[in-house]
Structure 1
Amino acid sequence: MNGTKQRNTKIVATVGPASSSYDALLALVQAGVNVFRLNFSHGSHEQHQEVIDSIIKINDRYNLFTGILADLQGPKIRIGDLEGDGFPIQSGDLLTFVTEPCLGTREKIYISYENFATDVQPGERIILDDGKVVLQVLETNKKDKVKLSVVHGFHISSRKGVNLPETSISIPSLTEKDLEDLDYILTQPINWIALSFVRTAKEVRKLQEKIREVGHKAKVISKIEKPQAIEDIDAIIKQSDGIMIARGDLGVEVPMERLPSMQKIIIGKCLQRGTPVIVATQLMDSMITNPFPTRAEILDVANAVLDGTDAVMLSGETAMGKHPVKVIEAMTKIIIEAEKNYDLTSKRAKASRKSPTYYSDVICINAGKTADDIRAKGIAGITISGYTAFKISSYRPACKIFIFSNAYPTLCALSLVWGVIPFFYDKFTSTDETIADVTMILKESKAVKQGDYLVNTGSMPLHRRFRTNFLKITLVD
């Protein structure tokens, strides 16, 4: 229904005013959306509930496994309201930021981060309005007031975002608002939870522990948008269930010329660990208003695919854009064309002898290699947790990955993962019967035909649910 059979790279779409109705969501799924992102920086729980209910109805009605990603706001830092429409500033001007709420003037401007004066150091850069304004700390009283010099001026206006790329901030990654939102999220069938402004693996672990405390199955995506995250990237990838390269804030906080290489390096590291990765922010930004993408946007999407990303994510394009369905259709065409030239042989995952899952990893990776060698039509994997699917996908085989599970949340989560087509299956009697069943299901769904080869993998005996420990080649009759 949604084009996944023609492509491997998945599409994540952010829900907003332009896409929150049942009909709009259905149209996006039909166009090719695999996962919907709920941005908890905006909207009430009641509004998000309506969207969740609609997605569930669509999945039930059309027998789909569209995933749901809840994106926590994280510690957003902003300046307060300014007199009038704000005012122009130029290089050399002096400003004072205070942590006591006030109406901003040229004399003093409120900043929402209460530890600002404590955390910043003289010489550090402060960035406003996505890089339009650059300031430098001159002095701080270490209590409630900081004097700054304007390095690059512009028109400064109310409630603009603040980035602190050189400051070691003490604010927790989970704010009070995030915790309130998390309490709600954990009552819902959410598949992925994105943690904003991650700096260390420890922050990721804390969120995972909170999720496990209530017995929820949601997986955690770490958003990479801080320089500190780059410094701890290996540990963060190891701890996380997924990674999002959030190029908006990351592009403000690190030198812009480093973004392309960072994207490639992070994707490569995720492939090696079997960790799903999303490339996000401004992929098709011009289509918020225009019916067609720019040439640069076409190349950006294609390059993300060629880098090996699991998914590409749309934000304003589908949340508030004029052409949400056209965006998905255009992105689908770009992905399909890019995948014709897809070659990640040098980046393919390898099993590490140091890993506690080494033997299972060997089976999963060799399922991909075997499928390529015999030109199989697909790999049919059986999983409960989804681990088998993650690992097989990380090899990036040339065929489709058909994953069977009786765990509905797992199947929805796998809608984010490269090349995976999920199927519900709950008749785990014997290995031979199950292989025969899944082969028949794939044949009836026209995914395979007589004479095709399948590579089967899973655990034996099935009812014991061990780690992946078998691999078999099946000729479809």
Structure 2
Amino acid sequence: MAVMSQAFCWPTCLHGELGGLDLTGERRKLRGQASGAFVSLKCPLRRSSISIVGSERGRSAGRKQVRTSVRSEAVAAGDKLDSGTGLLEHEDLNSDEEQVVPPKNGLLPIENGAKFTPGSSGIEVDSVSEADLKENGFRSTRRTKLVCTIGPATCSFEQLEALANGGMNVARLNMCHGTREWHRAVIRNVRMLNAEKGYSVAIMMDTEGSEIHMGDLGENSAKAEDGEEWTFTVRKFEAADLPERTVQVNYEGFAEDVQAGDELVVDGGMVRFDVVKKLGPDVICRCIDPGLLLPRANLTFWRDGRLVRERNAMLPTISSKDWLDIDFGISEGVDFIAVSFVKTADVIKHLKSYITARCPQEPIGVFAKIESSDSLRNLEDIIQVSDGAMVARGDLGAQIPLEQVPSVQQEIVQLCRQLNKPVIVASQLLESMIEYPTPTRAEVADISEAVRQRADALMLSGESAMGAYPDKALSVLRQVSLRIEKWCREEKNHENTRLQELSAALPDRISEQICNAAAQMANKLEVDAIFVYTRRGYMAQLLSRCRPDCPIFAFTDSKNVRRRLNLSWGLIPFRVDFSDDMENNLRRTFALLKARGMMKSGDLVVAVSDITSSNLNENLQSIQVRKIP
């Protein structure tokens, strides 16, 4: 077995300093390392070195392995590392020991008094990822995550299973539509799917928000033709009693605020109307840009070429209905809540405090939907306090000039990566596939650009919720993502992005630099995967931020953390019981992965850990390069 370890002197390991280390050809050397050979690689880090220790099994009576663990303390120049400092650990291993093979129940014996949390029968991984690894290998795994909005077209157990099998990582529930009972049934189906079929689909609940929007249309959609007159009204109708070419509006003051000559924009510009006249609670409009009207589509209106936003600015970000929906989401244990039309960071702070007070043990990720000019004015502050962001391009395109949307999208994606927040690119990715079985070439180019920008996830809205071809739309997202990711790796685009420092606090800086260094090592050595052992998911997300060429295997002992990590770029989350003994964790996961056919002898991995030691009551952080025995 080859072991690669590194002792860091903090805070001398700064981002980019590993760039001087020539590891380009070391992958071949590592794989072909002769038994008993010792190779020392010089690293341009002050008072640091990297060593590879090769050992020979079965040829000698015994062997001694030296493993260096990273600890969060500075070592003065000239200090000697020995067993007394705790920076160097010596482990005597019997050379006659047989290779570890898992027993039939998938469990390995617990060694050295390590304690594991009970309740696991081995290792849990998404069945789609497992099949992909077995059939196509490490480099073929998809890094970009896929979010599907669930609606009438995809709400049954069988339809959800088809989406999960097609690569869905997150199921989104849009609270603009359906009853809470309907959403509860979908949540139960997703949970049952995960439990019975081996998936790890997370659930995101999207609040309705208090912006102006259409009501239900009495059917899934309606077509507005050029020149037709439609009535927008604040009167209440049952769906079955809705008059022809009539649209209900949720805002009581709508008829008072609009004026004849205004332009009414539906769903971010998918359909446009001119306001002809007002008749009490009704507003008569003429269609000037025909298109498909979808239930609950957002409405904005323009006057003299300017967005009329005063009334929207006065509405609260989270309505009374939203608070009831949020309570529902908390009680059902959703993984993420996306907040619509966020205007300031204070809204996110307030909601996170509200959630923490009600479920302190299992936090819910709060995502800010960036879809208004208000959110753009406070963009960095909003993203800084959020757990992630969604680029809702449809509504955003109704509030800023269309030609600015691509550059704004790139700005948001880059900012989220710098701040270590997952970002979802959403709205109209495959809009034509609501009705047609194949996408337009422009839509494929749009998806490609989002993947090239290294967005964490892409989202289907109407395409999967009510479209005629939800499975095909998801397949297009998956195939385009795979092809563009491969192209990015071939072009070595990762070398051009420099990440800013996230925190001034020493513990956070240590974690950040370990992950930066591990990602650089992985790219230069061309390893098969990065292993990260994490209880909260923080180190895994830091590694995802680096966008390495290889997949990241994130091992956690929490089912909730495992689902939440399913939204971050490049992560393949596993749930497995582990101890604070890094060596024992590695042996155990190696054996379990080999037994499942996901790895084989000779595979090369970089291993990172931030597990808190129960004995020493401190974080032992380490980087190792290991060849699977």
Same fold, TM-score > 0.5, yes or no: yes
Q: 1:254 to 1:405 in 2, by over 3 A?
A: same
Q: 1:442 offset after TM fit, Å?
A: 3.0
CA distance in 2 between counterparts of 1:35 and 1:7 reads: 14
Structure 2 residue matching 1:207: 3-state secondary structure: helix
Decide which of 357, 360, 375 is 1:229's aligned counterpart.
375
Q: 1:230 offset after TM fit, Å?
A: 1.0
Query: Which residues of 2 match residues 352-371 of structure 1 at below 5 A?
Result: 352=502, 354=504, 357-371=508-522
Q: 1:76 offset after TM fit, Å?
A: 3.1
CA distance in 2 between counterparts of 1:438 and 1:155 reads: 57
Q: Tell me, yes or no, if structure 1 residue 395 matches structure 2 residue 546.
A: yes
Q: 1:61 offset after TM fit, Å?
A: 1.6
The amino acid of 2:504's aligned partner reads K
CA distance in 2 between counterparts of 1:59 and 1:81 reads: 32
Q: Tell me, yes or no, if structure 1 residue 302 matches structure 2 residue 448.
A: yes
Query: Which residues of 2 match residues 30-429 of structure 1 at below 5 A?
Result: 30-78=165-213, 112-113=250-251, 127-128=265-266, 130-131=268-269, 132-133=271-272, 161-163=298-300, 165=307, 167-168=309-310, 169-215=313-359, 216-342=362-488, 343-352=493-502, 354=504, 357-429=508-580
Query: Which runs of 5 or more residues in structure 2 are unaligned?
Result: 1-126, 134-140, 238-246, 302-306
Q: CA RMSD in A?
A: 3.8
1:142 aligned residue: none
Q: 1:182 offset after TM fit, Å?
A: 0.9
Q: 1:113 offset after TM fit, Å?
A: 3.8
CA distance in 2 between counterparts of 1:317 and 1:80 reads: 19
Decide which of 126, 151, 159 is 1:16's aligned counterpart.
151
Aligned-residue sequence identity (percent) comes to 33
Whether contact under 8 Å (1:406, 1:424) holds in the other structure is: yes
Residues 207-233 of structure 1: per-residue CA shift (max 9 Å, x gap): 111110111421011111001111111
Q: 1:345 offset after TM fit, Å?
A: 2.7
Structure 1 residue matching 2:487: 3-state secondary structure: coil
Residues 330-376 of structure 1: per-residue CA shift (max 9 Å, x gap): 22111111111112332353434535622211112222111112111
Residues 427-451 of structure 1: per-residue CA shift (max 9 Å, x gap): 3142221122222233333333222
Q: 1:417 offset after TM fit, Å?
A: 0.9
Q: 1:315 offset after TM fit, Å?
A: 0.9
CA distance in 2 between counterparts of 1:459 and 1:258 reads: 41
Structure 2 residue matching 1:244: 3-state secondary structure: strand
CA distance in 2 between counterparts of 1:60 and 1:88 reads: 47
Q: 1:65 to 1:348 in 2, by over 3 A?
A: farther
Whether contact under 8 Å (1:224, 1:246) holds in the other structure is: yes
Query: Which runs of 5 or more residues in structure 1 are unaligned?
Result: 91-96, 103-108, 137-144
Write 1 or 2 for the structure with the bigger share of helix: 1
Decide which of 590, 601, 626 is 1:450's aligned counterpart.
601
Q: 1:353 to 1:210 in 2, by over 3 A?
A: closer
More relative contact order, 1 or 2 (CA 8 Å, 6+ apart) = 2
Structure 2 residue matching 1:42: 3-state secondary structure: coil
Whether contact under 8 Å (1:318, 1:327) holds in the other structure is: yes
CA distance in 2 between counterparts of 1:63 and 1:81 reads: 36
| Number of residues of Structure 1 aligned to a counterpart in Structure 2 | 462
CA distance in 1 between counterparts of 2:380 and 2:418 reads: 11
Structure 2 residue matching 1:243: 3-state secondary structure: strand
CA distance in 2 between counterparts of 1:323 and 1:460 reads: 44
Q: 1:35 to 1:159 in 2, by over 3 A?
A: closer
CA distance in 1 between counterparts of 2:528 and 2:290 reads: 58
Q: 1:151 offset after TM fit, Å?
A: 12
2:627 aligned residue: 475
Q: 1:112 offset after TM fit, Å?
A: 4.4
Whether contact under 8 Å (1:272, 1:347) holds in the other structure is: no
